[in-house]
Amino acid sequence: MCENNYSLYATAKTLSCEQKEKNVFLLAIQVSSKIVPTPGQFYLLRAKKTGVLLSRPISVYHAQFANPANEFVRVEFLILKKGIGTAELCDLSEDDEIDVLGPVGNSFPSPKIVSDFSGRSNIQNPTVAIIGGGIGIAPVAGFAATLPAKTYDFYAGFKSGSYGLDYVDPKTLYVTTDDGSVGIKGMLPEVISVRSIQQKGYSDVYACGPEPLLEYVHTICKQAKVQCWLSLEKRMACGVGACLGCSIATKEGNKRCCKDGPVFNGSILEFPISAPKKSVLAVNKSKNSADIDLSCNIAGVQLENPVIAASGTFGYGTEYSDVIDVNRLGGICSKGLTLEARSGNTGVRLHETPSGLINSIGLENPGIPHFIEHELPLMQSLTPVTIINLSGSSIDTYVEGAQLLDKAVKANINSQTIIELNISCPNVKAGGMSFGLDPKIAAEVTTEVRKATTLPLMVKLSPNAPDLVGVAMAVRKAGADAISLVNTFQSMAIDVEKGIPVFDNITAGLAGPAIRPIAVRMVYDVCKAMNSLPENERIPIIGLGGIRTWQDALEFIMAGATAVQVGTATFAEPDCMIKIVDGLYSYMQRKGFSSLSDFRGCVIH
């Protein structure tokens, strides 16, 4: 009978976390366990207070029992602070809790010659070479510490400085740094080669580091006819061999990096392990930063930058004027407006969900006549382009609303204003999304509104449409000057204590970071279809859905979007749109881009 004790998964306590080099930290934890990891194994680590879903696989640097009863293990890790997950681990303080799964993975096999070194000293010719590059120093240093002193040579390569050498005691230590700050200036090939392996008579080589280094070690060992053991790194989810997300191709078929590795016999490996994708971006670093132009054009209307406050999240712009400099935005979309005033939906209107927000506001608004008299002048007084979100319960109300807006906007000859035709709101029982699910009906309402106004007309589409590309092409043909997508996803939440739906309307609209990858794909699909048309028949696409950072905005632009709208993220971080504008500028400056067109749609083939 199999006995399950689930000892691999536990909550550990942080003992200390100290910075060793610029972005390298030494994390020490104490975990309740009777298992001490062996060299080469790793743990999946995730801070208890975290913003990430997946734990991060981190190799063991050093481990030992922490008490005489062998009930607790002290484990040390060297961590490169790189992304959100590792940043959280590097920011841990004493007594912070951390989720751990481990130790998992296999270990470095002991060299046969080690048994002959027991009790000996002054070894003339160590037959083991251990090689670590950058953060890859951790597992091989941990392995080296288990070997008798002076029985191996140790090679360590860094960009700058050095770390991870506390427990090694080699016959000879070779250190290289790219900048020459420690040891020999250069990279590891400066100190180890086919010739040096043969001259020193190594029988085994152990290595961990970036893939180019491992490929180099693999090559020289093969040429020198020497056995090598390589510790690989791969993105992981489960860490126990269940999900197959970390599989690599070998001469013996696919192997799981977490379960069959991370240490592999070099003879079964083929490089490159992961073929790098070549960049399609033409970088010109000679460009002067003064030449950077963030502006974009939507249906003849010029925006200073591509960042627009999305409808329903920013009021009419003035609400946030005491919080951020709203005049730095490219455009501001008004709250959704209908011909008549609306009080919106009853009951719960907001429900937070992991990485998202479900809303059931129900288009509460003062009505278009009130907006024209009170809110429109305030919006037009701001620098960003005014975008009026128009909704309705019938085609007639859409048309009448468009006529009123057309007349009011044209009374201000200096105003640059766009109408955003909302046929995608999921939170109303009549109108809204019902007009945007079918290409024929979407085209019909677009045609009638197009007749009612000569203002630039942008149509906002729903991701819930069965044929989103079909709807997009239909409204383009019907007279849309631009398209914005996607609006919220129809969703649901249930109060499990009461056993009833959270929202009175049962369903509501999901927004926030959770929808972004799907929204990017939908924007890509529509932009790709648009690019199949003759250039003079294409219209711009404005992308939205879960944008929080400048990197998120870049994804939409690279998928083909002319501009982006930011909504839910503003609630959590009111200045996020300003940061996006600054981030786009810095990115373009770093890459040498002069305009958004240098990379817009670069992933479309």
pLDDT tens string 464-484:
999 999 999 999 999 999 999
> What is the tally of structural domains in the chain?
3
Condensed to tens digits (0 to 9), the pLDDT of residues 567-583 reads 999 999 999 999 999 99
- In the block, tokens 């990279």 appear at 187
Q: Which two tokens stand for residue 124?
A: 């003339």
Q: pLDDT > 70: what percent of the chain?
A: 94
Q: Are residues 382 and 260 in the same domain?
A: no
Between 359 and 125, the higher pLDDT residue: 359
Is residue 109 domain-resident?
A: no
Is residue 603 domain-resident?
A: no
Q: Which two tokens stand for residue 140?
A: 């091989």
Q: What is the DSSP letter of 190?
A: G
User: Which pLDDT value is given to residue 427?
Assistant: 56
Please, which residues have CB within 8 angstroms of residue 319's CB and are 6 or more apart in sequence? none
Is residue 474 domain-resident?
A: yes
Please, which residues have CB within 8 angstroms of residue 310's CB and are 6 or more apart in sequence? 333, 544, 565, 566, 567
Condensed to tens digits (0 to 9), the pLDDT of residues 129-168 reads 999 999 999 999 999 999 999 999 999 999 999 999 999 9
416 and 410 Cβ atoms separated by less than 8 Å: no
Q: Are residues 76 and 189 in the same domain?
A: no
Torsion on CA atoms 433, 439, 442, 445, rounded to nearest 10: -150
- In the block, tokens 């043969």 appear at 198
Whether the pLDDT of residue 128 is over 80: the answer is yes
Q: Distances from the Cα of 56 to the Cαs of 46, 50, 77, 302, 450, in angstroms?
A: 6, 12, 12, 44, 53
User: Which pLDDT value is given to residue 561?
Assistant: 98
Q: Which two tokens stand for residue 129?
A: 């070479």
Q: Are residues 547 and 443 in the same domain?
A: yes
Is residue 276 domain-resident?
A: no
Q: What average pLDDT is seen over the chain?
A: 93
User: Which pLDDT value is given to residue 4?
Assistant: 41
Q: Is the peptide bond between 272 and the residue preceding it cis, with omega within 30 degrees of 0?
A: yes
- In the block, tokens 């085609």 appear at 395
28 and 108 Cβ atoms separated by less than 8 Å: no
Q: Are residues 307 and 238 in the same domain?
A: no
585 and 558 Cβ atoms separated by less than 8 Å: no
Give the model's confidence band at 434: pLDDT under 50 very low, under 70 low, under 90 confident, else very high.
confident
Q: What CATH number is associated with residue 576?
A: 3.20.20.70
52-56, 111-115, 408-412: least confidently modelled range: 111-115
Give the model's confidence band at 429: pLDDT under 50 very low, under 70 low, under 90 confident, else very high.
low
d(CA 134, CA 464): 47
397 and 339 Cβ atoms separated by less than 8 Å: yes
Q: Are residues 420 and 527 in the same domain?
A: yes
Q: Are residues 260 and 319 in the same domain?
A: no
Give residue 486's domain range: 289-598
d(CA 302, CA 297): 5
- In the block, tokens 């950077």 appear at 292
User: Which pLDDT value is given to residue 542?
Assistant: 98
Is residue 175 domain-resident?
A: yes
User: Which pLDDT value is given to residue 276?
Assistant: 72
How do strand 227-231 and strand 153-158 relate by DSSP bridges? unpaired
Beta strand ranges found along 270-427 (DSSP E): 296-298, 301-303, 307-309, 331-333, 350-353, 356-359, 385-390, 417-422
227 and 221 Cβ atoms separated by less than 8 Å: yes
Condensed to tens digits (0 to 9), the pLDDT of residues 81-90 reads 999 999 999 9
Q: What CATH number is associated with residue 68?
A: 2.40.30.10
User: Which pLDDT value is given to residue 143?
Assistant: 97
Would you call 465 helix, strand, or coil by DSSP?
coil
Tell if the pTM clears 0.85, that is, is over it: yes
User: Which pLDDT value is given to residue 277?
Assistant: 75
Is residue 282 domain-resident?
A: no
User: Which pLDDT value is given to residue 42?
Assistant: 97
User: Which pLDDT value is given to residue 120?
Assistant: 46
d(CA 490, CA 511): 9
Q: Are residues 484 and 382 in the same domain?
A: yes
Q: Are residues 70 and 139 in the same domain?
A: no
Q: Are residues 94 and 161 in the same domain?
A: no
Q: Which two tokens stand for residue 292?
A: 């950077």
310 and 554 Cβ atoms separated by less than 8 Å: no
Read off the pLDDT of each residue in 229-234 and give the average, rounded to a whole number.
96
Q: Which two tokens stand for residue 96?
A: 């912070």
User: In 10 A of CB 555, how many CB atoms?
Assistant: 21
Query: Considering 104, 136, 155, which residue would you say is the last residue of a domain?
Result: 104
Q: Which helix (H) or strand (E) holds 20?
A: strand 9-21
d(CA 486, CA 481): 17
User: Which pLDDT value is given to residue 278?
Assistant: 78
- In the block, tokens 């000892």 appear at 7
Query: Considering 74, 104, 134, which residue would you say is the last residue of a domain?
Result: 104
Condensed to tens digits (0 to 9), the pLDDT of residues 331-354 reads 999 999 999 999 999 999 999 999
Out of 425, 527, 576, 602, pick the active-site residue.
Answer: 425
Beta strand ranges found along 246-304 (DSSP E): 247-250, 253-256, 263-265, 296-298, 301-303
- In the block, tokens 């997950």 appear at 85
Read off the pLDDT of each residue in 516-542 and give the average, rounded to a whole number.
98
Closest among 540, 552, 562 to 587, alpha carbons compared = 552
User: Which pLDDT value is given to residue 443?
Assistant: 96
Q: Distances from the Cα of 495 to the Cαs of 324, 408, 428, 510, in angstroms?
A: 36, 45, 22, 16
**206 class by beta-carbon count within 10 Å (0-12 exposed, 13-18 middle, 19+ buried):** buried
Beta strand ranges found along 50-185 (DSSP E): 56-59, 62-65, 72-80, 97-104, 128-133, 153-158, 172-177, 184-185
Q: Are residues 295 and 423 in the same domain?
A: yes
Give the model's confidence band at 432: pLDDT under 50 very low, under 70 low, under 90 confident, else very high.
low
Q: What CATH number is associated with residue 207?
A: 3.40.50.80
d(CA 570, CA 367): 24
Read off the pLDDT of each residue in 113-122 and give the average, rounded to a whole number.
49
Read off the pLDDT of each residue in 166-194 and give the average, rounded to a whole number.
96
In angstroms, the first-to-last Cα distance of the chain is 56
- Is 425 in the active site? yes
Please, which residues have CB within 8 angstroms of residue 206's CB and are 6 or more apart in sequence? 108, 128, 129, 130, 131, 140, 143, 228, 229, 230, 231
- In the block, tokens 């592999």 appear at 264
d(CA 116, CA 224): 23
Q: What are phi and psi for residue 513, nearest 5 degrees?
A: -55, -25
Give the model's confidence band at 280: pLDDT under 50 very low, under 70 low, under 90 confident, else very high.
confident
Query: Considering 239, 268, 297, which residue would you say is the last residue of a domain?
Result: 268
Q: Are residues 197 and 71 in the same domain?
A: no
Q: Are residues 538 and 433 in the same domain?
A: yes
d(CA 544, CA 308): 9
Helix locations, 454-575, DSSP H? 468-477, 516-531, 550-558, 569-572
565 and 543 Cβ atoms separated by less than 8 Å: yes
Whether the pLDDT of residue 123 is over 90: the answer is no
